[in-house]
């Protein structure tokens, strides 16, 4: 083969090669948050809301700039493709760290939403997921005056770099996906509500089964759940002693549970050890004996824990993973069926061991 033929074939091969799909950063729209709601259109049941970051040279409180795009669509994937016609840059989900599911959709069926999030390759599994009340669209319209970067308020609310609230349960997409398919372990998500046009409130938790929301915990119940399930130390506890209000700050907490059978009754025994310091207490407590106070706090805390566990049991959900433990300790194909028949009637026992380390006063 002579040189001219080789050159001709090489040029033809180069012409057949496809161009590079890479786009420069200035030709991309970074999605920082995505909201998915249930629309009123039966033919287009999903309402998608994208919060797009608008680059700004200013880095100061209130300098955050975002662009909101909303569309109703028949499916989530098709809606995202259609939204590309609304903007002049390529949509990039690589920096999307917050996904909001509208309350109505979460109470109906969240599985289609989860399937799309799990399958799309540019969505991070470490992204946070939450329920927006009353809907995700209105929450993404909130513009906090302290926000320095687009979407930074929600990032800091869930991340350890910002606030660490004992009332806020933090759920990642990977953990939620695992819980939604694991037998014996049910998913849960924080609920975000709008305080005003400039702020959020995240102090309640929704417990779900494999399809929809089954129970919503109050703010105090959410804090108690974080203490039991996540050993959250930066929290507090309220108690009473001889008619006086007491508030203690938890400096150390550790909990564990075991499954047993006594007198033909299945029992879940949970042991909770914690060290506390008084934040609010009546005068003179420093010089008193702390033993009776500790006993009263143990009694009240155990009672509150049992009430919460029974409430969760009544909703027929298991976010702590009692069923998963039962499956692990009872091998066999029939273990899961056995637990489903046991769980509605299981008895709960909580042993609290609270140790007071100080009253918070300097003597």
Instruction: Record the tokens describing residue 187, joined without a space.
Output: 């998913």
* Cα separations in angstroms, 192 against 90, 116, 137, 172, 222: 29, 22, 12, 15, 13
Residues with pLDDT less than 70, the chain: 1-26, 56-64, 160, 282, 284-288, 360-363
Contact indicator for 111, 53 with CB cutoff of 8 Å: no
d(CA 114, CA 127): 12
Query: How far lies 61's CA from each of 51, 157, 212, in Å?
Result: 18, 16, 38
Q: How far apart are CA 252 and CA 231, in angstroms?
A: 8
Q: What is the DSSP string of 320-363?
A: S-HHHHHHHHS-STTHHHHHHHHGGG-EEEEEEEEEEEE-S---
Q: What are the two backbone dihedrals, phi and then psi, of residue 68, each rounded to the nearest 5 degrees?
A: -105, 130
| Rounded (5°) CA angle 201-203-208 | 115
SS3 84: helix
Per-residue confidence (pLDDT) for residue 210, from 0 to 100: 95
- Whole-number Cα distances in Å, 65 to 16, 56, 130, 144: 42, 7, 23, 11
Give per-residue pLDDT as tens, 19-44. 445 566 667 778 889 999 999 888 99
Placement of tokens 């938890």 in the chain = 250
Task: State the number of CA atoms in the 13 A half-sphere of 220 facing the CB.
Answer: 8
d(CA 132, CA 89): 27
> Residue 92 burial by CB count (10 A; 0-12/13-18/19+): exposed, middle or buried?
middle
How far are the Cα atoms of 20, 266, 338 from residue 326, in angstroms, in the given order? 52, 11, 9
Both tokens of 92, joined, read 């990039």
DSSP H or E run through 300: helix 291-314
Distance CA 98, CA 202 (A): 14
pTM: 0.86
Three-state secondary structure of 34-76: EEEEECCCCCCCEEEEEEEECCCCCCCCCCCCEEEEEEEECCH
Structure confidence at residue 233 (pLDDT): 84
């Amino acid at each position: 083969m002579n040189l001219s033929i080789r050159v001709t074939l090489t040029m033809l091969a180069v012409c057949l090669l496809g161009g590079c799909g890479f786009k420069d950063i200035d030709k991309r729209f970074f999605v920082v948050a995505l909201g998915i709601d249930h629309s009123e259109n039966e033919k287009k049941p999903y309402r998608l809301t994208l919060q797009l970051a608008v680059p700004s040279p200013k880095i100061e409180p209130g300098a955050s700039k975002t662009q909101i795009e909303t569309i109703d669509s028949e499916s989530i994937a098709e809606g995202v493709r259609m939204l590309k016609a609304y903007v002049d840059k390529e949509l990039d989900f690589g920096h999307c760290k917050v996904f909001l599911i509208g309350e109505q959709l979460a109470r109906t069926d969240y599985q289609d939403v989860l399937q799309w999030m799990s399958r799309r390759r540019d969505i991070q599994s470490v992204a946070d997921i939450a329920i927006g009340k009353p809907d995700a669209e209105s929450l993404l319209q909130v513009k906090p005056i302290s926000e320095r970067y687009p979407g930074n308020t929600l990032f800091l609310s869930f991340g350890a770099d910002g606030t660490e609230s004992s009332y806020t349960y933090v759920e990642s997409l990977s953990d939620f996906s695992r819980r939604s398919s694991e037998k014996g372990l049910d998913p849960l998500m924080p609920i975000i509500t709008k305080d005003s046009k400039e702020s959020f409130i995240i102090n309640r938790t929704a417990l779900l089964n494999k399809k929809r929301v089954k129970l919503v915990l109050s703010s105090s119940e959410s804090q108690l759940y974080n203490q039991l399930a996540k050993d959250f130390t930066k929290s507090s506890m309220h108690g009473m002693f001889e008619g006086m209000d007491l508030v203690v700050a938890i400096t150390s907490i550790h909990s564990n549970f075991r499954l047993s059978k006594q007198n033909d009754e299945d029992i879940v025994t949970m042991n909770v050890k914690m060290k506390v310091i008084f934040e609010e207490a009546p005068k003179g407590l420093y010089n008193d004996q702390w033993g009776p106070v500790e006993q009263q706090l143990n009694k009240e805390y155990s009672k509150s824990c049992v009430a919460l566990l029974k409430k969760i049991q009544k909703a027929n959900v298991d976010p702590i993973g009692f069923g998963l433990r039962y499956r692990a300790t009872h091998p066999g194909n029939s273990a899961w069926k056995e637990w489903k028949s046991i769980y509605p009637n299981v008895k709960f026992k909580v042993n609290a061991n609270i140790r007071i380390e100080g009253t918070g006063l300097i003597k």
